[in-house]
Structure 1
């Protein structure tokens, strides 16, 4: 169902069209009414309008002026112009503003329903085209390689997903993987002139090497590629289902994998005129061993390749790896600092809980690990404070922000107490600041409205004054005060109107115009709805009271 807005300074015309025609039957779910161009803009800023019907000649803002303003922000809205004058200039301007119809008054109910019905059908076609599955699917397909690479990179960095969640993601990204499937990793490090390429040329080289690897490995293995945070190309390698019988023996798999990886290295050198080092990890299972294989591969690369270039390393099962005593929860995505920056306070607190759970379980007696956690958390807190234009000491107090003596690291209990105490103080500080900012914003909004009540206090005018979007203005005001901004403006206007009615020398229509109501009849209607009395009845009641 679509939404319709009818605008005319003649309230009888608006009310008749809005209230008497069977709009639901032609697909119109809601009909909004406005008695001036300014009221129409307020409605447009807070509601999604699909079809606009407006008169041309209106005081204050003509229909053509309204059309010109709406074309800037509501390009998809369809417009019908009504006019009591068959003037060529009006028709010409209507065409310039891409008006759907230009209709001359008087127009029958059947004609207006017919025109709007045709517009509804047109909108349905446009909506269906916009939501076309083929268009969305095409865009998604084009993004699949990047999205697959991002998922693999997260798994390399230690991201833990439930089996069901991981399976859903892989199905969505069309990754053919089985849980507990045997996998190995192949790391390719570009060296020499390849590592010095500009970003565009490097992207082309990544693409070329990726294609080359797919062609070389396609007969025996499936590859899932990504580029890691160090700039290495990482390929998750799996034996193709139809080749598992042929490569049943582990030695056969290893031999074939090494041969193809060596061929890739030589092909890069021969065809792309570049040098790469290639490292193949041990075998493990997906997804549980992904991050461990990756960390072991990085360790082997640092230890056995280092700054040398053009090397080929195969990490055999027989080679005993030095255990990597690293903190997993601290560095797995999402990082603590990123959770703080996105104001995900609950997730950030969960992150701290997981960090200390691992610390209690594995490294409670390791002073180095305690210090590592302290400085990592301290750096996250400090970075967050500075990005918000604050000193950390101002947020958590000088006692907790002072690192002298590293008191917090003397035991895991003291470190945990420091971390959660500092975290909660920082969260409270930010939430108080947000509330204060909101209060200050609402205060400025009220001051502006009170000062300009007899001028333009439309939502757009307030938004322009605050340098904010109209929708944001409405939401922040409602969030802070519990009432709609339009209700607040109406209350002030009605209170001012009531005060002005006490002055016998001021006419009712003068009060209406002073408060921005171009149509006195509409002002009378609004006043009666608010006070249950017309302005004249209210004035008489005041006189009787005196």
Structure 2
């Protein structure tokens, strides 16, 4: 509910408007009265005024000057200017000061109520929009940690994000790291009694460990954390003042310790705090320094490798990643396991991106591992599994979609060489795509037949787009698009064509009058029927009858 302030140096005008009109009926709960601009300012400072109705010509401070104060200090207030003068200059000034209404005296009570009611409606809409926006902002703020974690998780898995898009995401999520900034990765694995907890209790413990890490590191470092796909807590660590140990450099903090030494010390304190306060054990692995964002995935994989090698099934360890990972002679196919995975692209039906994914995987294999039988086998089994999973989720056997020859892997012929794998992989993909597009086309053809059948059966009844959509259990826009895509014409054109063909047939019967034909076609207005018929056939129904009678 809203409050109104009426200002005029004529007391009779103020009292009449304030005391005699049914303000409550339009949502005004309180009406304040002022007989000068200074008095009005005092009232506005002491009360929450939503709508101001003021005269322009007043002694001392006039209404336009009062409006200037309102625009400076109460920007959301709605204003109506009253004046007994119709000079255009006043209207210009009112517009410049953003008055919402400009009314000339004398005005009727009905006009005053109508104008104020319009502003009340505008205030309600603004309030609803503001509350909706605030709810969205609050929900966004509440989900910020989760959204930040999801973005870091995607980067750890190798999701490719354009620099511009990544910068926008980092800014919106309030993550304090920029492209080119140095960082280190830290993995924390909860062990022993933590592994026995139920999901809810474990989530609480993970939250507590992450908070402990934030408190320990906050004076010297910034942490960006997430839970990775292996269940480890991953922290991207950046120095609060931009310092880092670059490849084992000797940058030091004010106490003479290297940045890396401080991270190691704080990590050890984290282990002690978890043991003391949460009665549990964690292993911590600290990775090497890298450059954001290009080194996120490689350094994460180095950390996982060191965790497997150096920690294994042991618990309570603190490990530092060494340089040995750079000398690994064999690596996995990176593009194969980068999100989105091949099986997910197939399920989405995005054939273009799926094609790009396959080509990217093949390029990597051909460039680096074409002579490695194991890598060729790895790719073959992964692709075959994705194709089979896709077929089964569509209720089909893979052999039904790509043919028995390509689906038969007896003897593993497709993976005997990189070249044979490539031929099998892309040939099978093309057949999968063709099969699904044929099914989609068949579904559209079936839908069109059902639409046409419904129209034919209900031609003289309700054949509106909404009625057809209700019958098809589809959205009207979707129905319209399917029909247009498959037939090349709009549903409305099809309905009109059938009606006009039926009209021509009925007009051939001399016993039926034109208005009777109109009613049989569902046109309640015979004049409208004549207009539609003439537009379609270029002759009126009567002229059409005459042509039939003359045989022309």
TM-score, scaled to structure 1: 0.72
CA distance in 2, matches of 1:249, 1:385: 62
Paired with 1:517 and 1:206, the residues of 2 have a C-alpha distance of 70
* More moved, 440-449 vs 135-144: 135-144
Distance 1:343 1:119, change over 3 A: farther
Residue 328 of structure 1: aligned partner: 334
Post-superposition Cα deviations, 1:432-464, rounded to whole Å, max 9, x if no partner, equal 221121112111211221122233323233223
Alignment of 1:540 with 2:546, yes or no, is yes
Q: CA deviation at 1:378?
A: 0.7
**Partner of 1:144 in structure 2?**
144
In 1, Cα distance between equivalents of 2:543 and 2:256: 97
Q: CA RMSD in A?
A: 3.1
Q: C-alpha distance in 2, partners of 1:358/1:395?
A: 27
Q: Which runs of 5+ in 2 are unaligned?
A: 1-109, 245-250
CA contact (8 A) 2:282 2:317 kept: yes
Partner of 2:469: 463
Tell me how far 1:268 sits from its aligned partner. 2.4
Cα distance in 2, alignment partners of residues 360 and 164 from structure 1: 31
Instruction: Confirm whether residue 474 of structure 1 aligns to residue 480 of structure 2.
Output: yes
Other structure's SS at 1:283 match: strand
- Who is 2:213 aligned against? 213
1: CA distance, partners of 2:394 / 2:119? 48
Paired position in structure 1 for 2:234:
234
Secondary structure at the residue paired with 2:412? Answer: helix
* DSSP-derived class of the 2:234 partner: strand
CA contact (8 A) 1:180 1:286 kept: yes
> Are the structure 2 counterparts of residues 169 and 507 from structure 1 closer, same or farther at C-alpha, using a change threshold of 3 Å?
same
The 5 A counterparts of 1:55-204 are 126=125, 130=129, 136-204=136-204
Instruction: Report the counterpart of residue 384 of structure 1 in structure 2.
Output: 390
User: How far off its partner does 1:302 sit?
Assistant: 1.8
Matched residue pairs, number? Answer: 434
**Residue 261 in 1 paired to residue 267 in 2?**
yes
Decide whether aligned partners of structure 1 residues 518 and 208 sit closer, same or farther in structure 2, where only a CA change above 3 A counts. farther
Give the Cα separation in 2 of the matches to 1:307 and 1:365.
35
Question: SS of the counterpart of 1:541?
Answer: helix
The residue that corresponds to 2:454 in the other structure is 448
Q: Distance in 2 between matches of 1:146 and 1:251?
A: 34
How much has 1:144 moved relative to structure 2? 3.0
**Alpha-carbon spacing, 1:151–1:250, altered in 2? closer, same or farther (3 Å):** farther
Between 178-187 and 231-240, report the one with greater CA deviation: 178-187
- Tell me, in whole angstroms, the C-alpha distance in 2 between the residues paired with 1:202 and 1:234: 16
1:55-98 alpha-carbon deviations (Å, 9 max, x no partner): xxxxxxxxxxxxxxxxxxxxxxxxxxxxxxxxxxxxxxxxxxxx
* Counterpart position of 1:74: none
Deviation at residue 527 of structure 1 after TM alignment: 2.3
- Listed one character per residue, the Cα deviations across residues 361-398 of structure 1 (whole Å, up to 9, x for unaligned) are 21111100000000011111111111111211122111
Query: Which protein shows a greater Rg?
Result: 2
Task: Decide whether the 8 Å contact of 2:302 with 2:325 is kept in 1.
Answer: no
| More displaced stretch, 305-314 vs 487-496 | 305-314
